[in-house]
Amino acid sequence: MKNLIAVLALFSASAFAAPFDKGDAKAGKVTHDKQCAGCHAARFNGDAGKIYTRADHRVKSPASLAQMITTCNANLGNNLFPEDELNLGAHLNGAFYKFK
Ligand code: HEC
Protein backbone atom coordinates (compact mmCIF):
# COMPACT_ATOMS: atom_id res chain seq x y z
CA MET A 1 0.00 0.00 0.00
CA LYS A 2 2.86 2.35 0.81
CA ASN A 3 4.32 1.64 -2.63
CA LEU A 4 1.02 2.34 -4.34
CA ILE A 5 0.75 5.71 -2.63
CA ALA A 6 4.32 6.55 -3.58
CA VAL A 7 3.72 5.60 -7.21
CA LEU A 8 0.48 7.54 -7.36
CA ALA A 9 2.26 10.53 -5.83
CA LEU A 10 5.02 10.31 -8.43
CA PHE A 11 2.37 9.91 -11.07
CA SER A 12 0.24 12.87 -10.05
CA ALA A 13 3.34 15.03 -9.66
CA SER A 14 3.80 14.64 -13.40
CA ALA A 15 0.12 14.96 -14.33
CA PHE A 16 0.94 17.36 -17.13
CA ALA A 17 3.67 15.23 -18.64
CA ALA A 18 3.10 11.96 -20.47
CA PRO A 19 2.32 9.13 -18.03
CA PHE A 20 5.43 7.56 -16.49
CA ASP A 21 7.51 10.20 -18.28
CA LYS A 22 9.95 10.32 -15.39
CA GLY A 23 10.55 6.58 -15.50
CA ASP A 24 13.49 4.95 -17.25
CA ALA A 25 11.92 2.52 -19.74
CA LYS A 26 15.22 0.75 -20.43
CA ALA A 27 15.82 0.02 -16.76
CA GLY A 28 12.16 -0.99 -16.52
CA LYS A 29 12.58 -3.53 -19.30
CA VAL A 30 15.56 -5.12 -17.53
CA THR A 31 13.55 -5.42 -14.31
CA HIS A 32 10.56 -6.71 -16.25
CA ASP A 33 12.51 -9.41 -18.07
CA LYS A 34 14.09 -10.54 -14.79
CA GLN A 35 11.14 -10.36 -12.40
CA CYS A 36 7.88 -10.23 -14.29
CA ALA A 37 8.04 -11.92 -17.67
CA GLY A 38 8.49 -15.50 -16.44
CA CYS A 39 5.30 -15.68 -14.44
CA HIS A 40 3.23 -13.97 -17.15
CA ALA A 41 4.72 -16.11 -19.93
CA ALA A 42 3.91 -19.27 -17.97
CA ARG A 43 0.24 -18.28 -18.12
CA PHE A 44 0.21 -17.41 -21.84
CA ASN A 45 2.03 -20.21 -23.66
CA GLY A 46 5.44 -18.62 -23.25
CA ASP A 47 4.43 -15.22 -24.66
CA ALA A 48 5.11 -12.66 -21.92
CA GLY A 49 3.64 -9.77 -23.93
CA LYS A 50 0.28 -11.41 -24.39
CA ILE A 51 -0.96 -10.57 -20.90
CA TYR A 52 -0.83 -6.85 -21.81
CA THR A 53 -2.34 -7.17 -25.29
CA ARG A 54 -5.01 -9.88 -24.82
CA ALA A 55 -8.45 -8.65 -25.87
CA ASP A 56 -9.81 -8.56 -22.32
CA HIS A 57 -6.69 -7.14 -20.66
CA ARG A 58 -7.39 -5.33 -17.42
CA VAL A 59 -5.30 -2.18 -17.52
CA LYS A 60 -7.28 0.68 -19.09
CA SER A 61 -5.61 3.79 -17.69
CA PRO A 62 -2.25 4.98 -16.36
CA ALA A 63 -3.62 4.79 -12.81
CA SER A 64 -4.74 1.18 -13.24
CA LEU A 65 -1.34 0.34 -14.75
CA ALA A 66 0.39 1.81 -11.67
CA GLN A 67 -1.96 -0.16 -9.45
CA MET A 68 -1.43 -3.45 -11.30
CA ILE A 69 2.35 -3.05 -11.13
CA THR A 70 2.02 -2.58 -7.37
CA THR A 71 -0.28 -5.62 -7.08
CA CYS A 72 2.16 -7.80 -9.00
CA ASN A 73 5.06 -6.40 -6.99
CA ALA A 74 3.20 -7.66 -3.91
CA ASN A 75 3.17 -11.14 -5.56
CA LEU A 76 6.93 -10.88 -5.61
CA GLY A 77 7.14 -10.01 -1.92
CA ASN A 78 7.35 -6.24 -2.53
CA ASN A 79 11.02 -6.34 -3.39
CA LEU A 80 10.84 -3.37 -5.79
CA PHE A 81 11.25 0.29 -4.94
CA PRO A 82 8.79 2.95 -6.14
CA GLU A 83 11.40 4.05 -8.71
CA ASP A 84 11.46 0.49 -10.08
CA GLU A 85 7.67 0.60 -10.39
CA LEU A 86 7.88 3.92 -12.22
CA ASN A 87 10.49 2.47 -14.59
CA LEU A 88 8.29 -0.57 -15.17
CA GLY A 89 5.41 1.78 -15.95
CA ALA A 90 7.55 3.63 -18.48
CA HIS A 91 8.53 0.37 -20.15
CA LEU A 92 5.04 -1.17 -20.22
CA ASN A 93 3.39 2.05 -21.33
CA GLY A 94 5.94 2.62 -24.06
CA ALA A 95 5.91 -0.96 -25.33
CA PHE A 96 2.25 -1.93 -24.88
CA TYR A 97 -0.35 0.44 -23.47
CA LYS A 98 0.67 3.76 -25.07
CA PHE A 99 -1.35 5.99 -22.75
CA LYS A 100 -0.81 9.67 -23.52
C1 HEC B 1 3.60 -14.73 -9.52
C2 HEC B 1 3.17 -14.41 -10.85
C3 HEC B 1 3.32 -12.97 -11.33
C4 HEC B 1 4.43 -12.20 -11.27
C5 HEC B 1 5.79 -12.52 -10.69
C6 HEC B 1 4.07 -10.93 -11.89
N7 HEC B 1 2.78 -10.96 -12.32
FE8 HEC B 1 1.80 -9.46 -13.31
N9 HEC B 1 0.16 -10.62 -13.45
C10 HEC B 1 0.02 -11.90 -12.94
C11 HEC B 1 -1.31 -12.40 -13.24
C12 HEC B 1 -1.86 -13.78 -12.85
C13 HEC B 1 -1.98 -11.37 -13.94
C14 HEC B 1 -3.40 -11.38 -14.50
C15 HEC B 1 -4.38 -10.92 -13.47
C16 HEC B 1 -5.79 -11.00 -14.04
O17 HEC B 1 -6.01 -11.04 -15.24
O18 HEC B 1 -6.68 -10.95 -13.21
C19 HEC B 1 -1.02 -10.28 -14.06
C20 HEC B 1 -1.31 -9.09 -14.70
C21 HEC B 1 -0.45 -8.03 -14.82
C22 HEC B 1 -0.76 -6.78 -15.47
C23 HEC B 1 -2.09 -6.43 -16.11
C24 HEC B 1 -2.13 -6.88 -17.57
C25 HEC B 1 -3.44 -6.47 -18.21
O26 HEC B 1 -4.38 -7.27 -18.15
O27 HEC B 1 -3.52 -5.35 -18.77
C28 HEC B 1 0.32 -5.98 -15.33
C29 HEC B 1 0.49 -4.56 -15.84
C30 HEC B 1 1.32 -6.73 -14.61
N31 HEC B 1 0.83 -7.99 -14.33
C32 HEC B 1 2.57 -6.25 -14.27
C33 HEC B 1 3.53 -7.02 -13.62
C34 HEC B 1 4.86 -6.53 -13.33
C35 HEC B 1 5.36 -5.14 -13.68
C36 HEC B 1 5.51 -7.53 -12.69
C37 HEC B 1 6.95 -7.54 -12.18
C38 HEC B 1 7.22 -6.57 -11.16
C39 HEC B 1 4.61 -8.65 -12.60
N40 HEC B 1 3.42 -8.30 -13.17
C41 HEC B 1 4.93 -9.86 -12.00
C42 HEC B 1 0.98 -12.62 -12.28
C43 HEC B 1 2.27 -12.19 -12.00
Give the pLDDT confidence of 56-90 residue by residue, as tens digits.
999 999 999 999 999 999 988 988 999 999 999 99
In this prediction, residue 63 carries a pLDDT of 95
Enumerate residues 6+ apart whose C-beta is below 8 A from 5. none
Q: For residue 14, how far is its CA from the centre of ligand 1 (angstroms)?
A: 24
Q: For residue 30, how far is its CA from the centre of ligand 1 (angstroms)?
A: 16
Alpha-carbon span 62 to 79, nearest angstrom:
22
Q: Are 75 and 39 in contact (CB under 8 A)?
A: yes
Is residue 26 within 6 Å of ligand 1 at its C-beta? no
For residue 65, CA distances in Å to 4, 45, 72 come to 11, 23, 11
pTM summary value: 0.87
Alpha-carbon span 48 to 53, nearest angstrom:
10
